[in-house]
């Protein structure tokens, strides 16, 4: 990760701060990257947060103008690139066996409720037990004791690996990394079928990713911290409370236990954190869904132009899609396809290509001047919804809606365009 520090140009904080609430409070007060150089009780460690609070960070990583980010992400997802496997990694110089983790790693307390310590920027690496395909995905970890964490496993690839291993009576062998290049973080935040996310990261880095093989799993050599261990097949623990991407409290659940066997770390290590429920959390979760939505909507409406998950929708629940309409009904088709592409979506607004999907005022203007509510709004009742949508009272079922604010093709477009 150290190679990317100069590029993101963080604010340097040299005051000694505790991992107990103090670092989290500082992160809330800054919009950009912050590097803390003196961590109470953890001499020699530094902590970095707010790394990915702007789309510009990812555009810089891909070496493209910010306006081309969505297109570049969509193309990379369809054209992953193999990475190089090497024989050495500098993190192997420092090793801890069977560690009491909190004595060595600066785990964070973000909120005072129940005094929980978390690792929030941790990426799990694992292989499909049947096909061998490698997966990389973010999962928060709540510290339990000694070398044990409760891990929030959402119902995606790693959860599927875990369930299949569990059925075979096996633990799930994993490697957890923390402190990575933004390209790896961006790739690990992606959910896309049959993808090795490290190959996506390699595509972002123009083939420049290097990994070392440990226990059959490929690990990026520049990772600051590497934890070797297993998700236990037959043990769960309460996980939470935790503030999720919507800024509300997530449900306390019984989650699998991760047991750490060994930790490796770089010289002068940097521990990376993601402030839960804030800008970085929302951006990492949402930005990688936009190209997925774009790719899938394109199958239904080839003239789709842009996709944006809105800040007001927590970067997760509300989207705006723009199309260059050719046939009546394409606005509704685009909305249906977007809901299918990202099942957590609650609302999709579809607009014409002259509307800037990232400009809330422009989108509201389209709603005010082009939408006939009795014709343009479609409700989809009884749909499976996001677990993060608290309006559904934990049932997981609710109503989604499509708002078609496109210009009717049987009307003169000039009547709907801004003169100035």
- Find tokens 């899938």 and name the residue: 296
For residue 155, the model assigns a pLDDT of 82
pLDDT tens for each residue of 78-119: 899 999 999 999 999 999 999 999 999 999 999 988 899 999
CB neighbours of residue 125 within 10 Å: 26
Mean pLDDT by 10 residues, the chain (420 residues): 78 96 94 95 96 88 86 89 97 96 97 92 98 96 98 93 97 98 94 90 94 98 98 96 87 95 97 93 90 93 96 94 95 96 95 96 96 95 86 83 94 77
Is 273:47 a contact under the CB 8 Å cutoff? yes
For residue 389, the model assigns a pLDDT of 80
- Nearest Cα residue to 202 out of 211, 193, 212: 211
CATH class of 288-416: alpha beta
- Which residues are catalytic, by number? 244
For residue 420, the model assigns a pLDDT of 64
In the chain, domain spans? 67-265, 288-416
Distance linking the first and last C-alpha atoms of the chain: 47
The CA-CA-CA angle for residues 292, 338, 162, to 5°, reads 55
pLDDT tens for each residue of 249-260: 888 999 999 999
For residue 250, the model assigns a pLDDT of 86
Which pair of tokens denotes residue 300?
């239904």
Is 351:402 a contact under the CB 8 Å cutoff? no
The CATH code of domain 67-265 reads 2.30.110.10
For residue 393, the model assigns a pLDDT of 67
């Amino acid at each position: 990760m150290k190679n990317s520090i100069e590029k993101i140009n963080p604010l340097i904080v040299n005051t000694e701060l505790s991992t107990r609430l103090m670092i989290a409070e500082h992160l809330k007060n800054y919009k950009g990257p912050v590097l803390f150089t003196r961590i109470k009780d953890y001499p020699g460690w530094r902590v970095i947060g707010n790394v990915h609070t702007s789309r510009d960070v990812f555009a810089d990583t891909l070496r493209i103008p910010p306006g081309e980010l969505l297109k570049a992400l969509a193309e990379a997802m369809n054209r992953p690139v193999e990475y190089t496997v090497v024989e050495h990694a500098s993190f192997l110089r420092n090793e801890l066996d069977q560690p009491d983790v909190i004595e060595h790693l600066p785990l964070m307390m973000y909120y005072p409720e129940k005094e929980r310590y978390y690792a929030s920027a941790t990426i799990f690496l694992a292989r499909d037990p049947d096909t061998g395909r490698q997966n990389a995905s973010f999962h928060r970890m709540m510290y339990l004791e000694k070398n044990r964490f409760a891990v929030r496993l959402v119902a995606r690839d790693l959860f599927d690996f875990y369930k299949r291993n569990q059925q075979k009576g096996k633990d799930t062998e994993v490697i957890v990394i923390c402190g990575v290049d933004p390209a790896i973080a961006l790739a690990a935040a992606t959910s896309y079928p049959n993808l090795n996310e490290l190959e996506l990261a390699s595509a972002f880095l123009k083939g420049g990713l290097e990994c070392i093989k440990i226990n059959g799993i490929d690990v990026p050599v520049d990772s600051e911290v590497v934890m070797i261990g297993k998700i236990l097949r037959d043990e769960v623990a309460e996980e939470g409370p935790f503030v999720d991407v919507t800024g509300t409290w997530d449900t306390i659940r019984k989650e699998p236990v991760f047991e750490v066997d060994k930790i490796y770390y770089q010289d002068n290590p940097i521990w990376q954190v993601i402030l839960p429920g804030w800008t970085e959390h929302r951006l990492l979760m949402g930005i990688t869904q936009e190209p997925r939505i774009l790719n899938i909507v394109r199958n239904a409406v080839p003239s789709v132009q842009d996709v944006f998950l809105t800040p007001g929708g927590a970067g997760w629940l509300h989207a705006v899609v723009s199309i260059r309409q050719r046939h009546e009904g394409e606005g509704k088709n685009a909305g249906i396809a977007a809901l299918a592409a990202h099942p957590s979506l609650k609302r999709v607004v579809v607009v014409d290509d002259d509307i800037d999907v990232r400009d809330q005022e422009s989108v509201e203007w389209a709603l005010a001047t082009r939408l006939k509510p009795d014709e343009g709004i479609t409700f989809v009742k009884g749909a499976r919804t996001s677990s993060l949508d608290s309006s559904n009272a934990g049932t997981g079922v609710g109503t989604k809606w499509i708002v078609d604010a496109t210009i009717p093709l049987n009307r003169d477009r000039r009547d709907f365009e801004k003169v100035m």
